[in-house]
Amino acid sequence: RGCNLAKCGPSQTTSAAALMRSRTRKSLLATVLLWCVEAAPRTDQNAPWNVNFKSEHVPEEYFGRWDGHTYFPSPTNWRSLSIYQLLTDRFADGDPRNNEVHDGEFDVRDMSFRHGGDFVGLQQKLHYIKGLGCRAIWISPLFLNGPNSYHQYAMHDFTLIDPRLGTLEELRDLTNAAHELGMYVIIDVVMNHMDNQFAFEGHEQGAAPFKMHDDEEYRLVLRNPERELFATPAGAQPYIDFWYNNTWDPSATYGGPVYGKWGEAAFDYLSGTYPSSDFHHNGDLVDYANPWQITLGKIYGTMDDLRLESHRVQDKYIAMSKALISSADIDGFRVDTPMQVPLEFFKRWVPAVTDHARSLGKERFGIFGEFFVTTERFATMTGRGKTPDMYRRDVFIDGPATLKGGIDYSYYWYFFITLVYNKPEFTNGLPLVYHNEGFMLDTVDPVSGQSEYAMWTFCNNHDNWRMQTMSGPEQLRLCLAIISFWPGTPVHYAGDEQELNTPGSALDGWAREELSVSMAWRSLETTPAGNPSNGDNFDMTSPSYLYLQRLNALRAAYFGDFESEQCDVLDTPATGSPEVLVFLRGCSDDSRVAVVANFHAVEARNASFPTPWSQGMVISNALASSGQVDSQVDIDAGGVASLVLSPLEVRVLVLGSVRSLPPAVAAVSPAHGAVVRQLALPGSKLNVTVQFDQPVDRAQAEASVRLNGQYEHGFLCSTLSSDGGCYQLALSVDLSSLASGVHSIEVDQGVRAARDGALSTAVVFRSTFVVAAAEESGVLANMAVHEQPGLVCNYLTQLCHKAAGAEWYRVQHMGEPWTEWRRYEEVSSWPAEFGRAVLVQYHAHGSSSYIVGDCVLPGGARCYARYHPEMFLRTQDNDWGMKDEGRMALVDHFTWAVNMTFSHFVRAKFAPFPNWKKSYGVLKERDVYFSLPNYDPRHNTYWPTPFHDGTEAIRQYMLAKGLWSESASIASGSGAAEPLWLSHLCKPDPPSPSDHVDEGWQCHYFTGSEDRNWCQVIGEDEEYIYKANDKTEYMGECGLCDCCRKSKFQNRSVIKEVNHTCCILFNDLYLNYTVTSDVSKCQAVQIVPAPPDPQPGHLWIALGMGIVWAIMPCAVAIHGVLQKRSNSVISMQLAPEELNVSIKKSSSALYQKSQSCTALSSASTACTAATEEVEPCAEHGVCIFKPHRVLFASLEHVIEHEGGREK
């Protein structure tokens, strides 16, 4: 980051810019480039990613622009939309060439790392989102983040787009494409905090207790050396536009008010702080109920907290927000952690942003908050804001309106309690929330002047366990139906429409699955067929996709544009059953719907409730796919409806026939993601069909269906309705005419319904399938294939790929960096080496999760493919590798093993390098709490048992479901991963409370007046021994803390058992590990042989190799001697002279059993006759061939020198 753009030489900046344009990035050069572009003043070099167009370094004057562009107007009413939420990195990888900027941060194996999603991939899938009926997308933050901040919430900058997501032009292409589809783009924005560039003085490696005014708070200490800082108007700084200053002002105050957990105002009556700094110096945020601590504290102790009460900081952020809107035509913001932002910031920022958007033609720019807080707290920042003393009165906090609405967790708590904790009697909490928010919140829109309830309701999001994982798909469907018709705006989290169900919260990456093909979750087989996230999930015909599609279509058909205030009128009559929810709602009298839901998971329930309908009226269940009359609903003379609901059943009752909905494709064959095998039989046909959910115009449909983008294939209607409409179209195609690879079925937008020509398909439909040869075992045909015999082919000179349909690939020699991404070709040149694994990663239709490997020995034998060159198991018992390196051995492809003996519990980590450059551990356990709102009288009596998160919690979930054996677990390479547990029990279980284990050195968090000096002098107290962290591996479990402690009373184990030997296996591709008492599991398995070479065109090579085998029984090349040679290629030339094959030096070593030089004398003569030059036989028998070409024979054995050096 020391590459200040103002000082970059022309050759440096020009070559870097050219490198980015051509997308040919070496990792080191890309890292240098990132540091060069990480500067917000606009330059030619950072222009591709910069939304700011001002070149002078004056952040508060930054501005954006889009010359010649007509801005897309705001929606008439935000409530009319359904929103689709996604993490850009976890959606679709449209261009793999932008995936790596920092080494190691892109890793499709690990759910904690980046997976490559970008703007290009998202744009390619907009039709999929629009097909659901969602007309707005909420995407994760887009500005520059740290190396592995795939979630994008650790900000480095607020004007530079993260190059791993794409360029400004690609963002503009995305917003343009969305707007052309009538969709809106909401960007997640962060203003409370940035990355972690500062520590608090005296607490550089540990927690810093919160301070306010006293003891001059903390001075900020830089975490990085000065050479990595930026040159700014404020001197050398870790951030280019926000600057720290350690000048103490004893008279400065924070003013206020700020607001606490219950909406109470707090004012600052003391003084002393650092007002000239753009950051807070107050220490870590621990007490979220303290109004000052939540406003000034450093969240998680890892995010630098901006001083947002400062007008200087406000001016900068306002300018940057306006620049983003101007440069990219954004439609709205979702504000992250608004409860930690002072209200005075919003009182300035919101009007400035909305006024600016209005000047561009966006009259109703939307700004919504993350309300992961009490209703009393978010009431202070909704609309003009209210404190508790203002409820039920037309009185508000001074100043303009702020956030229009936000993500309302109050409803989520009740969904969770009723559907996950199986407490259906809490169903009445949902109307309780709506009733109370009605008088607690200011819902008047400042533009329309009408009351608009704009809370966002949801069943899942990117921070929590998925509901369907903890309960089931039926519970999710019930929840989706409720939020679709409830007041406010429904938000649908990516993957719910495909019933993704990975256990765990999203915070550690568990429930942040990709929609495209993924690898990181393959160890978590949540169904007999594996994890649903393994495959391509852009399936527009899956049952859950069609269910949500229908919900959104019904919502639009009955509620329209939401222009009437009547849309927010909600009737919630009593039902006679506390487990049944009934509500009636409509934007007009003739559009009212009655939603009836039984929240009980195992028992049917009767429901009776008053309706606006009369006896004899026809009532239909709109949620039924055919929209049939609901004969089970009885309306009596008084208008009371009665019906029986099955467990978890939900009905959407409407008067008369169900309103017509737009047609949609309901099924295709081959199904989405299917693999079609090409049969050897001549004339084999493939029947391709497209089925609609209702009859469509026949002629138009036949002209609108495409195979691989081509209309001329000739789809014809195969199923007609009684009125002449077409239900299904079919095409019979010669299977041999379809090449191996990915094929698509597409249906144009605008195919009209046969019965209501005013309605038509809303978006282009697209489905894909894979065609493969009958015996094809390539990675696209079988995603579980990761070792490919014959990948290394033609005598180590080429790679023979089996990934037809891939668009890109890159290659890695084991232990070396990956190559750049290259366009796919069936056969590619590659100088492979005997005994050295080769990995190939492919990119195909939105995913880079295709990895295969091969490893070849001389003579055609194969060795194991693996991701890492070596693997070590470091434990407390071997002093984390200091006493015994804990080397593991390969026993299968990508599988390492070691037998170890234990008599107690020990901590351990897998490490692929002799140092700690990389390691694999487990994610720590944390509690996931849910609570009731304060206005529910049950909040004092009902405290649900918290759900747990982390590796052990997920392991217990998988065990309880019968999906894992007790020997299985999963590891993570995250920097937050902690050591796993091993023991004499030969299972990955952690110790129970009764097992007293030696935890080793643990972090001690300072309290009160404790500091580093205290740690050095105290020595010990009644319970602990203390020691300053010397950063050695001996104290490795203490992490980066300044002060470490260990219990005086811990011992290895109270269990006095004999030693037990355990087999520990670790798969370095899927990152799962096994601990078992069956030591036979650690034995090597047989390797599938490679297919025979030669391939056509290589017969001369085959002949030459035969000659080599005939004349070289003696050939022995010792690696240690070869290391001394300066020749880059050791070679042998054979007659005819045209027969030459070049091989790398390290591949030319030939080994056989140790023989004396005397025994090899005749062989040495033969070698001399066959070559131009031979080095004399050395002490252990060596023939080295030195001309410029080489052919060689089989690796048979390794000769060991007397001193132990490999030869």
pLDDT in tens, 825-843: 999 999 999 999 999 999 9
Tell whether the model's pLDDT for residue 207 goes beyond 60: yes
Tens of pLDDT, residue by residue over 392-439, are 999 999 999 999 999 999 999 999 999 999 999 999 999 999 999 999
| Gap between the Cα atoms of 595 and 485, Å rounded | 8
- How many Cβ atoms are within 10 Å of 226's Cβ, its own excluded? 9
Residue whose entry in the numeric block shows the structure tokens 């495909």: 498
Tens of pLDDT, residue by residue over 293-317, are 999 999 989 999 999 999 999 999 9
Structure tokens at 998: 């030696």
Alpha-carbon radius of gyration of the chain? 33
- CA of residue 769 relative to chain centroid, distance: 25
**Is 47 strand, coil or helix?**
helix
User: Are the CB atoms for 839 and 811 separated by under 8 Å?
Assistant: yes
Dihedral sign for Cα 448, 449, 451, 455, please.
Answer: positive
Question: When comparing pLDDT for 432 and 1175, which is higher?
Answer: 432
Mean pLDDT of 1000-1020: 75
The reported pLDDT for the residue numbered 1103 is 42
C-alpha distance across the termini of the chain, in Å: 44
Tell whether the model's pLDDT for residue 1030 goes beyond 80: no
Peptide bond into 670 cis (omega under 30): yes
1161 pLDDT tier (thresholds 50, 70, 90): very low
The reported pLDDT for the residue numbered 678 is 84
DSSP character at residue 1046: E
Q: Phi-psi category of 1163—alpha, beta or left, where left has phi over 0 and alpha has psi -120 to 50?
A: alpha
**Could you write out the three-class secondary structure of 664-688?**
CEEEEECCCCCEEEECCCCCCEEEE
| DSSP letters spanning 907-968 | EEEEESSSSSSS-BBBPPPEEE-----TTSGGGGT--PPPEEESHHHHHHHHHHTT-S-TTE
The reported pLDDT for the residue numbered 632 is 79
1033 pLDDT tier (thresholds 50, 70, 90): low
Residue whose entry in the numeric block shows the structure tokens 């927000």: 321
Q: Phi-psi category of 301—alpha, beta or left, where left has phi over 0 and alpha has psi -120 to 50?
A: left
| Gap between the Cα atoms of 114 and 106, Å rounded | 5
Residue whose entry in the numeric block shows the structure tokens 């999760």: 849
User: Are the CB atoms for 320 and 144 separated by under 8 Å?
Assistant: no
Residue whose entry in the numeric block shows the structure tokens 């002078």: 56
38 pLDDT tier (thresholds 50, 70, 90): low
Determine the longest span between alpha carbons in the chain, in angstroms.
114
The reported pLDDT for the residue numbered 1058 is 74
> Strands 968-970 and 230-232, how do they pair?
unpaired
Tell whether the model's pLDDT for residue 14 goes beyond 50: no
> How much of the chain, in percent, has pLDDT values that exceed 90?
69
Tens of pLDDT, residue by residue over 175-203, are 999 999 999 999 999 999 999 999 999 99
1174 pLDDT tier (thresholds 50, 70, 90): very low
- How many Cβ atoms are within 10 Å of 642's Cβ, its own excluded? 14
- Specify the amino acid at residue 479: C
| Gap between the Cα atoms of 1124 and 797, Å rounded | 25
The reported pLDDT for the residue numbered 759 is 96
Cite the beta strand spans of 802-886 per DSSP E.
808-813, 822-823, 827-829, 838-844, 847-854, 872-875
The reported pLDDT for the residue numbered 205 is 80
Dihedral sign for Cα 344, 348, 349, 355, please.
Answer: positive
Q: Mean pLDDT highest for which of 263-272, 776-785, 1154-1163?
A: 263-272
The reported pLDDT for the residue numbered 625 is 72
Residue whose entry in the numeric block shows the structure tokens 């890309």: 30
Rounded to the nearest integer, the mean pLDDT of the chain is 85
| Gap between the Cα atoms of 1069 and 1067, Å rounded | 6
Tell whether the model's pLDDT for residue 643 goes beyond 60: yes
| Gap between the Cα atoms of 945 and 1061, Å rounded | 38
Peptide bond into 257 cis (omega under 30): yes
Tens of pLDDT, residue by residue over 695-709, are 999 999 999 999 999
> How much of the chain, in percent, has pLDDT values that exceed 70?
84
Mean pLDDT of 816-826: 95
Model pTM score: 0.87
| Gap between the Cα atoms of 260 and 270, Å rounded | 18
Structure tokens at 945: 């048992």
Q: Which of 417-431, 637-651, 1048-1062 has the lowest mean pLDDT?
A: 1048-1062
What are the Cα distances from residue 94, in Å, to 496, 517, 811?
22, 12, 19
862 pLDDT tier (thresholds 50, 70, 90): very high
